[in-house]
Amino acid sequence: MNMRSHQLRCIGTGERIAPEDAPHDFRDPETRELYEIEYPWSESAETSGTPHRNLPNPSALRHLWAERRDSTLPIDQSGVWRYRELLPILKDDNTATTLREGNTPLYDLPRCAKSLGLDFLLAKHQGMNPTGSFKDTGMTAALSVAVERGYEWVACASTGNTSAAMAAYAARAGLRSIVFIPEGKIAWGKLSQSMDYGAMTVQLKTDFDGCVRILAELVKRHPIYLLNSVNPYRLEGQKTPAVEMVEQLDWQVPHHVIVPGGNLANGSALGKGFAEMKHLGLIDRVPKISVIQAMGANPLFQWFTNDHKEIDPVVADTRATAIRIGNPASWRKAARIIETTNGWCEQVSESEIAFAKAQIGAEGIGCEPASAVTLAGLKKLVAQGRVESGERTVLLLTGHTLKDPEYTIDFHRGTLAMDIEEAAPFRRPPLVLDADPETVLRALDAEMKNTPVPVR
C-alpha cells in the first residue's frame, strides 16, 4: 500500500470501497449511509490490522508546514494544501485547483468575552476565504478530485455558499457547473456570486431538501460530479481549519470549538481533523465540539434532546439561510463527533441570532447570520456551566457579513422581528439629514450622549 492510497469507508457498515467505485450519490446503495475517507494511517485502518505509520514525525510535519508559508508555489500558499500530508487524495497535488483558500485569521473578541463573563474568546473567521465562506476549503479538495477523474460537469444543491464556492473553483479549473438553489430563500450576495463565476443557476420552486432530491436524480442519469457535502472529499478540505487553528495557537488545543449546524458536514470535518491530529501525535487531546442550530431548523437538537436514535427531518425555517436545512445529510457523522468529544448541541432563536450577529459586527469583524449562532449558543453553554471562564473557546465564523447585507440592514432599520432589549443599543439605522453643518453637529452631539464608549 503506498502512502497516497485511500479508501472510502461506509460509516454504517464499515465496508471499504476503492475510490473509483464510489457511487454517484456517495451513499451505500443498500443502507444509504455516507462514506468517509480512510488512509493507511487512519485509526480505523490500523485497528483493522494493516498499520502503516511511516508518516513523518509530528515535529517534522509542523516544521514542514511552517516552512511552506514562505513558498511561492500555489499549493504551498493554500491553507488547505499546505497540510497535504493529511489529505493525500490526489495522484499529483500540483494539479489541485486552488484560490489560496484557508489562511484565515483567528481573531479575539474581547467585548463579546466580557459580556459573557469569559476571560477571552476567539473566532476563526472562515468567512475570510476567497468566496467568503468555509465552503472553499472543501471545494478545493473535492473539485480537484473531479478534475482528476476527468469530469466536465459538476453540480450541487445549495443554500448559497456551496454554489458560490463550486462555481468559482469550477471556473478556475475550466469545468462547467450547475447549481440548484431554493427559489426566494437565498441571500443576494451568494446568488450573484454563482452567476458571476459563470454557473448555470437554477432556482427550483422548493426548499434545500427538495433541491437535493432533484439533484440525486440528475447525477444518476448524467456524468455529472456531485459536490454536495455528501461527497467525502469535501470534508477532507474542511478538516484543515482545525489544523490551521491549532497551528495559530502554537499547537495549544482549545477547550471548546463551536460550530453552526446545517447539513452537519462542517462540524464532522473539524472533528475528523482533530481526531486525526491526535492519532498522529500532533496534539495530545481534542476539544469539545458543540453544534448550534437555529430553532426553526433543529433536527439535530431534537435528536440530541430526545432518544438519541434516528433523526426526524423538520420543515426548516430561519432567516439564517445557510443553515435552513431540515434533513441534514451528515447528521450521523456530527452526532458521533459530539458524543466522542463530549460536546453539546443547542438551539437558538431568531432574536438571539440577530443580537449575537450585531455583537460580532460591533467587534469590527462581522459575519453572516448562520455564523452568529455560535456566539448565541455559547451564551447558553456558559449559562449552563458547560463552558467556564478560564477555558479557551473558538467560534467558527462560517461566512462573511457581505453575503447577506439585506439581513443586516433589516436588523438596523428595526424591520427584523426582535425581542431582545439588550440588542437595541447595537442598532445603527442610517440617519437622513439635511446637508447643513448645524444639523449634522446636532446629530453627532446626540449620538455622543447616547452611545457608551466600547470596551477596549
Ligand X SMILES: *Cc1c(COP(=O)(O)O)cnc(C)c1O
Nearer to ligand X, 77 or 318 (CB): 318
Nearer to ligand X, 282 or 332 (CB): 332
Q: Residue 266, interface with ligand X (CB under 6 A)?
A: yes
- Measured from the CB of residue 86, what is the shortest distance to ligand X in angstroms? 19
* 92 Cβ neighbours under 8 A, 6+ residues apart: none
Nearer to ligand X, 185 or 280 (CB): 185
Give the type of residue at 239. K
Q: How far does CA 220 lie from the centroid of its chain?
A: 27
- Measured from the CB of residue 396, what is the shortest distance to ligand X in angstroms? 8
Contacts 24+ apart (CB under 8 A), 244-251: 244/79, 244/83, 244/102, 244/103, 244/104, 244/124, 245/106, 245/124, 245/394, 246/277, 246/282, 246/283, 247/62, 247/65, 247/66, 248/106, 249/106, 249/392, 251/62, 251/282, 251/283
Q: Residue 140, interface with ligand X (CB under 6 A)?
A: no
The residue within the footprint of ligand X, chosen from 370, 372, 376, 387 (CB under 6 A), is 370
What secondary structure letter does DSSP report for 204?
A: E
Q: Residue 165, interface with ligand X (CB under 6 A)?
A: no
The residue within the footprint of ligand X, chosen from 79, 88, 261, 296 (CB under 6 A), is 261
Q: Of all residues in this chain, which one has the CB nearest to ligand X in the complex?
A: 399
Q: Which stretch binds ligand X (CB under 6 A): 210-218, 258-266, 356-364, 385-393?
A: 258-266
The helix-helix angle for 161-173 and 135-148 (nearest 10°) equals: 40
Q: Interface residues for ligand X in 206-245 (CB under 6 A)? A: 229
* 35 Cβ neighbours under 8 A, 6+ residues apart: 8, 9, 10, 11, 17, 22, 26, 27, 28, 232
The residue within the footprint of ligand X, chosen from 143, 147, 265, 360 (CB under 6 A), is 265
* CA distance to 195, 231, 399, per residue, from 409 (Å): 23, 35, 17
Strand partners, 36: 9
The residue within the footprint of ligand X, chosen from 77, 137, 161, 374 (CB under 6 A), is 161
Give the type of residue at 28. D
Grid cell, residue 4, equals 497516497
- Measured from the CB of residue 209, what is the shortest distance to ligand X in angstroms? 12
What secondary structure letter does DSSP report for 319?
A: S
Nearer to ligand X, 275 or 323 (CB): 323
Grid cell, residue 424, equals 437595541
Site string for ligand X, 98-127 (x = CB under 6 A): ------------------------------
- Measured from the CB of residue 260, what is the shortest distance to ligand X in angstroms? 4
Q: Which stretch binds ligand X (CB under 6 A): 262-270, 273-281, 308-316, 343-351?
A: 262-270
- Measured from the CB of residue 133, what is the shortest distance to ligand X in angstroms? 4
- Measured from the CB of residue 357, what is the shortest distance to ligand X in angstroms? 12
How many Å apart are CA 313 and CA 32, to the nearest integer?
16
The residue within the footprint of ligand X, chosen from 144, 231, 398, 408 (CB under 6 A), is 398
Nearer to ligand X, 7 or 131 (CB): 131
Q: Which stretch binds ligand X (CB under 6 A): 39-47, 195-203, 263-271, 276-284?
A: 263-271
Q: Residue 290, interface with ligand X (CB under 6 A)?
A: no
Site string for ligand X, 322-361 (x = CB under 6 A): xx--------------------------------------
* CA distance to 32, 38, 82, 270, 274, per residue, from 341 (Å): 25, 20, 26, 11, 10
Site string for ligand X, 169-208 (x = CB under 6 A): ----------------------------------------
- Measured from the CB of residue 152, what is the shortest distance to ligand X in angstroms? 26
Q: Residue 133, interface with ligand X (CB under 6 A)?
A: yes
Query: Is 257 in a helix, a strand, or coil?
Result: strand
* CA distance to 41, 51, 190, 330, per residue, from 48 (Å): 11, 8, 43, 24
The residue within the footprint of ligand X, chosen from 260, 296, 299, 366 (CB under 6 A), is 260
* 61 Cβ neighbours under 8 A, 6+ residues apart: 55, 85, 280, 282
Q: Is 19 exposed, middle or buried (0-12, 13-18, 19+ CB in 10 A)?
A: middle
How crowded is residue 330: how many other Cβ atoms within 10 Å of its Cβ?
28
How many residues in the shown chain lie near ligand X by CB under 6 A? 18
- Dihedral pair phi/psi, residue 9, rounded to 5°: -110, 125
Q: Residue 368, interface with ligand X (CB under 6 A)?
A: yes
How many Å apart are CA 296 and CA 281, to the nearest integer?
40
Q: Which stretch binds ligand X (CB under 6 A): 105-113, 211-219, 368-376, 378-386?
A: 368-376
Instruction: Give me the residues that bind ligand X (CB under 6 A), please.
Output: 133, 135, 161, 229, 260-266, 322-323, 368, 370-371, 398-399
